[in-house]
Amino acid sequence: MFLPCGYAVGKTLKAAFQVNLCSSKAGIYLIKKLPVGSGSSIPVKLVSVKAIEGIFCYNLGMEDCLFCKIIKEEIPSEQILETSNYVAFKDIHPKAPVHVLIVPKRHVEKPEELRPEEISDMLNGSEEIAQILGVKDSGYRLLFNVGKHAGQEVDHVHMHLIGGTPSKGMY
């Protein structure tokens, strides 16, 4: 199949791209190259390409991501809140009585790759989530584990909201 702009399956893209969901069930994304300097660069690898209604759509290899599957509702979760930027659901291995993961819908691996509106929505939404779960007044933690040494187990950035019990210090 002819790929526009010379992109090939298996090639890692390193320029700035606008990525739009084309088919949520298939994990297929539409990629549009952005002008130089108009966006951040996040390397993505093309896994497959498919023409849907005449538009070339690319599978970015995120079909194996646990959180992407939860976001696409391929895996069940106990969802607390959803916005256009994130989904918040209960952690299946909670470290406290209240342990929620706030996960951006766009697949990124590190907090610095989040767009300002995504991080703002996640932080502002955490107050509503804390209110829903009854820990707003007693207190809660917000944290990111970044990288394997910090305890990040899924390579899809996510923020933890933890509460419901007094904190025992920083660690």
Active site residues: 158
Residue 70 neighbours by CB under 8 Å, 6+ apart: 77, 87, 89, 103
Q: Contact, 155 vs 109, CB < 8 A? A: yes
Q: Contact, 10 vs 45, CB < 8 A? A: yes
What is the C-alpha to C-alpha distance for residues 113 and 54, in angstroms, rounded to an integer? 30
Nearest-5° Cα angle at 23, 17 to 28: 50
What is the C-alpha to C-alpha distance for residues 149 and 161, in angstroms, rounded to an integer? 20
